[in-house]
């Protein structure tokens, strides 16, 4: 056994273990942080969507009854449940642009509520599965990554058809303002649009990456110190004692040299091995001395027998 080979093997094993632990630790921590960021975004989106629903409910229960007493030739957008909710969130979006709330439809009354291609796809999914009540996920924009939460808008009350059934049933003031072609033809039980709310994920993702980077640096520092300490310890307690034992064993097997010192330090097993080799070497030396003495006695007696 050659000590450079031991060093190389030990270092490769340590590096492999440390690299695997570093990758597993950083990767696992990153996944946990990402999952935590998504859970927080989902929780925040549900709270905000509940707030939007509360605003709609307030409009229906408190605003609509009062404004409905006004003359029929006047149409007030404040009577529409979605108007107040979307107006409030547009004000929020002026400060926090990534927070948005919309109620897009395939055939809306207001052109501002016309569904985008992405929203159209969500509406189609809700239409295809009437039992589906919520869709969430992540979508990327040019400047941000957004978590979105969407729920279907289904016609479940007859009063909705008063404004969206046929133009002749709708308030004349509404028809005069928006025309007689948009926002009509809805049917009971039909999914006509969605409520969709978005919250930003970019900052949360950046925070996760920063924490992962700090964790990676910390683990690398710890592993580096541990690697140096372990390699130095193994070199002092294993590699050098093994090299001395190998040298002593080689000398004993090739000659009668029993004076080469054996290591007195190192791991306990190596010290036990050194003591065993020392006993073996001592026994071997005694055996060689005895064999040498017997050979000398026989050589001295032979001439005397010939002389007699």
pLDDT in tens, 274-294: 666 666 666 666 666 677 666
Q: Do the beta carbons of residue 199 and residue 98 sit within 8 Å?
A: yes
List Cβ neighbours of 152 (8 Å cut-off, separation of 6 or more).
123, 126, 132, 133, 191, 193, 194, 195
Q: What is the model's pTM?
A: 0.63
The confidence score (pLDDT) of residue 12 equals 83
Q: Do the beta carbons of residue 178 and residue 103 sit within 8 Å?
A: no
The confidence score (pLDDT) of residue 282 equals 66
Here the tokens at position 240 are 């050098």
The confidence score (pLDDT) of residue 2 equals 45
Dihedral, 146, 152, 153, 158 alpha carbons, nearest 10: -170
The confidence score (pLDDT) of residue 302 equals 45
What does the alpha-carbon distance between residue 218 and residue 212 come to, in Å, rounded to a whole number? 10
What does the alpha-carbon distance between residue 15 and residue 22 come to, in Å, rounded to a whole number? 10
Residues of the chain with pLDDT under 70: 1-6, 68-74, 245-246, 248-289, 292-308
List Cβ neighbours of 258 (8 Å cut-off, separation of 6 or more).
252, 281, 282, 284, 285
């Amino acid at each position: 056994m050659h000590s450079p080979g031991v060093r190389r093997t030990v270092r490769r094993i340590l590096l492999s273990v440390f690299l695997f632990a570093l990758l597993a630790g950083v990767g696992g921590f990153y996944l946990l942080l990402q999952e935590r960021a998504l859970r927080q975004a989902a929780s925040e989106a549900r709270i905000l969507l509940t707030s939007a629903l509360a605003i709609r409910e307030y409009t229906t229960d408190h605003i609509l009854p009062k404004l409905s007493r006004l003359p029929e030739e006047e149409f007030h957008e404040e009577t529409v449940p979605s108007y107040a909710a979307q107006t409030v969130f547009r004000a929020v979006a002026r400060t926090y642009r990534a927070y948005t709330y919309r109620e897009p439809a395939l055939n809306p009354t207001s052109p501002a509520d016309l569904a985008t291609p992405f929203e159209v796809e969500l509406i189609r999914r809700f239409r295809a599965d009437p039992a589906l009540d919520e869709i969430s996920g992540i979508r990327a924009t040019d400047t941000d990554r957004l978590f979105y939460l969407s729920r279907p808008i289904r016609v479940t009350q007859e009063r909705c058809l008063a404004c969206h059934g046929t133009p002749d049933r709708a308030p004349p003031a509404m028809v005069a303002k928006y025309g007689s072609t948009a926002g009509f033809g809805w049917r009971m039980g039909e999914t006509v649009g969605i409520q969709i709310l978005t919250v930003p994920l970019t900052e949360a993702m950046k925070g996760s990456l920063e924490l992962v980077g700090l964790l990676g640096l910390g683990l690398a520092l710890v592993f580096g110190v541990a690697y140096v300490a372990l390699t130095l310890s193994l070199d002092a307690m294993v590699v050098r004692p093994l090299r001395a034992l190998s040298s002593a064993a080689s000398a004993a097997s090739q000659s009668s040299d029993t004076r080469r010192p054996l290591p007195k330090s190192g791991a306990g097993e190596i010290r036990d091995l050194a003591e065993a080799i020392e006993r073996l070497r001592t026994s071997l030396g005694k055996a060689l001395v005895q064999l040498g003495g017997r050979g000398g006695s026989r050589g001295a007696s032979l001439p005397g027998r010939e002389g007699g």
